[in-house]
């Protein structure tokens, strides 16, 4: 659907290439409305309610994550295009930074979704921190000998 919107805008002389972004925004909004209807409009209880609510929440997370990555990549492309005065260039560093920032945003959003679903994320993060410290201390001598050579 996004490609169809891009073609329609290009036929009018606009070269924005935002069809995919608008498609993702539409899907996220449809999922939000469907989840809202399930929560407030339809009387569903028990396991069916839990199944639908969880499925729509995870689908929303997936499509919002995709939208976040698409937005970061879109702005990276615009920045590279404007920086080089309208020439399309290979700007790998800008693309990598956009993906790193998009990934970090998705991780933060994922932590929020896990907390929203009722799981306590604090023990998991504390365990990962202690585990990371243990791994860092364990490979310290390896890195020391590797860097000294």
Q: What is the pLDDT of residue 31?
A: 82
In the DSSP assignment, the letter for residue 16 is -
Can you tell me the distance from the alpha carbon of 99 to that of 5, in angstroms, rounded to the nearest whole number?
25
- Please tell me whether the overall predicted TM-score, pTM, comes out greater than 0.95 for this model: no
For residue range 85-126, what is the model confidence (pLDDT) as tens digits? 656 666 777 788 888 888 888 888 888 888 888 888 888 878
The residue-averaged pLDDT of 61-75 equals: 84
- Residue matched to tokens 């990276």: 76
Can you tell me the distance from the alpha carbon of 9 to that of 16, in angstroms, rounded to the nearest whole number?
8
Can you tell me the distance from the alpha carbon of 104 to that of 143, in angstroms, rounded to the nearest whole number?
27
CA atoms 21, 22, 28, 32: torsion sign: positive
93's tokens: 């560093």
């Amino acid at each position: 659907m996004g490609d169809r919107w891009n073609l329609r805008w290009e036929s009018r002389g606009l070269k924005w290439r935002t069809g995919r972004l608008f498609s993702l925004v539409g899907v996220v909004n449809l999922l939000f409305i469907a989840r809202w209807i399930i929560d407030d409009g339809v009387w569903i209880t028990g396991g069916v309610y839990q199944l639908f609510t969880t499925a729509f929440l995870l689908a929303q997370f997936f499509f919002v994550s995709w939208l976040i990555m698409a937005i970061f990549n879109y702005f990276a492309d615009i920045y590279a295009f404007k920086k080089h005065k309208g020439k399309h260039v290979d700007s790998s560093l800008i693309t990598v930074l956009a993906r790193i920032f998009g990934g970090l945003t998705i991780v933060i959003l994922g932590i929020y979704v896990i907390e929203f679903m009722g799981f306590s994320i604090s023990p998991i993060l504390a365990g990962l921190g202690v585990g990371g410290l243990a791994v860092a201390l364990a490979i310290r001598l390896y890195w020391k000998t590797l860097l000294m050579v």
